[in-house]
């Protein structure tokens, strides 16, 4: 069994819950007793801020940007969060220049893969999640090439749904560099059962994607907006198994584990020893 399973959370459309889903799906798996590492590859620092607060770069202290430029391992960047079993690799603002720095590197789409290969602590983890910026950039290509799976959050709205085919085309272009990369699926987010368009988009995607569309959906939830401001996952913020976000992300984690179990051939049996 491969360990860890590396999952890129991607969508070039902004605001479709890439970061929120990465934080809370990672936390849901950690609650299930898995060891999870979340990596922030977006210079907006949203994942970093949500989990441990913004991190400023300090002279002489190497950052994720330096690791990518120098093509080194990432062990020194691993930071614990308040959620047991969930660690993070934070990003700092200068990562905004990563695409420019990567452009002239040899094997420029595979640099992140090389960094992860050199990260000796990586095999401590069951899962690595990579949160990506809202773009189809060299950084995102690096994330995909380094990953076993990609997971696509998509707002339950017409225009984001239309954008999915462009994402599919871009991923197809890097197939040569990532022949192992598989789709874990598409998750509908910002779903509201009372809105007709949400139900319509769900029906259209169900027809188009079949089982590639997760049954679990992430519903609109105002608590999810507030949780990052106090550096809490939805589980710590809602503090109730009946919380809307707690229910949604627990169900999503369960479904993701079943999918991975099928794809990885008895993942759960092996992972649980």
In the bound state with ligand ATP, the residue whose beta carbon lies nearer, of 15 and 73, is 15
In angstroms, the CA 61 to CA 71 distance is: 16
In the bound state with Mg ion, the residue whose beta carbon lies nearer, of 19 and 216, is 19
> Of 42, 36, 37, 33, whose CA–CA distance to 14 is shortest?
42
Number of residues that bind ligand ATP (CB under 6 A): 17
Tokens 């893969």, residue located: 113
38: left (phi over 0), alpha (psi -120 to 50) or beta: beta
For residue 14, the partner it binds in Mg ion, ligand ATP, none, with Cβ less than 5 to 8 A by kind, is ligand ATP
Instruction: Determine if 139 is a binding residue for ligand ATP (CB under 6 A).
Output: no
Among residues 6, 7, 16, 29, the one that binds ligand ATP under rule CB under 6 A: 16
Long-range interactions of 223-232: CB distance < 8 A, separation 24+: 224/20, 224/24, 227/50, 228/20, 228/23, 228/46, 228/49, 228/50, 231/49, 231/50, 231/51, 231/52, 231/53, 231/82, 232/82
Stretch that binds ligand ATP, among 54-62, 192-200, 221-229, 254-262 (CB under 6 A): 221-229
Instruction: Determine if 13 is a binding residue for Mg ion (CB under 5 A).
Output: no
Instruction: Determine if 19 is a binding residue for Mg ion (CB under 5 A).
Output: yes
Which tokens hold the place of 67? 């690791």
Instruction: Determine if 12 is a binding residue for Mg ion (CB under 5 A).
Output: no
Among residues 26, 34, 42, 154, the one that binds ligand ATP under rule CB under 6 A: 42
Query: Least distance to ligand ATP from the beta carbon of 147, Å?
Result: 17
In angstroms, the CA 39 to CA 248 distance is: 22
Q: Residues 9, 21: contact at Cβ < 8 Å?
A: yes
In angstroms, the CA 258 to CA 94 distance is: 38
Instruction: Determine if 190 is a binding residue for ligand ATP (CB under 6 A).
Output: yes
Among residues 57, 220, 251, 254, the one that binds ligand ATP under rule CB under 6 A: 220
Instruction: Determine if 151 is a binding residue for ligand ATP (CB under 6 A).
Output: no
User: Which residues are at the interface with Mg ion (CB under 5 A)?
Assistant: 18-19, 46
User: Which residues are at the interface with ligand ATP (CB under 6 A)?
Assistant: 14-20, 42, 44, 46, 134, 190, 218, 220-221, 224-225
């Amino acid at each position: 069994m491969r360990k860890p399973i590396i999952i890129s959370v991607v969508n070039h459309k902004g605001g479709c819950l890439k970061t929120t889903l990465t934080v809370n799906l990672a936390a849901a798996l950690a609650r299930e007793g898995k060891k999870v590492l979340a990596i922030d590859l977006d210079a907006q620092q949203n994942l970093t801020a949500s989990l441990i607060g913004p991190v400023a770069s300090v002279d002489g202290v190497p950052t994720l940007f330096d690791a990518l430029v120098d093509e080194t391992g990432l062990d020194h960047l691993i930071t614990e969060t308040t959620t047991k079993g969930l660690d993070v690799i934070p990003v700092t603002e200068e990562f905004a220049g990563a695409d420019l720095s990567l452009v002239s590197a040899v094997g420029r789409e595979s640099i992140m893969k090389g960094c992860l290969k050199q990260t000796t602590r990586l095999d401590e983890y069951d899962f690595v999640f990579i949160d990506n910026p809202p773009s189809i950039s060299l950084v995102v290509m690096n994330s995909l090439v380094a990953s076993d799976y990609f997971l696509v959050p998509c707002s339950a709205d017409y225009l984001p749904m239309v954008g999915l085919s462009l994402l599919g085309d871009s991923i197809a272009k890097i197939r040569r560099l990532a022949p192992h990369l598989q789709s874990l699926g598409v998750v509908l987010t910002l779903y509201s059962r009372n809105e007709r368009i949400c139900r319509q988009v769900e029906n259209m995607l169900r027809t188009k994607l079949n089982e590639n569309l997760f049954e679990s959906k992430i519903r609109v939830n105002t608590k999810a907006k507030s949780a990052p401001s106090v550096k809490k996952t939805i589980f710590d913020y809602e503090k109730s198994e009946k919380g809307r976000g707690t229910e949604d992300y627990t169900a999503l984690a369960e479904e993701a584990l079943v999918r991975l179990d099928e794809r990885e051939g008895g993942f759960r049996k092996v992972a649980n020893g």
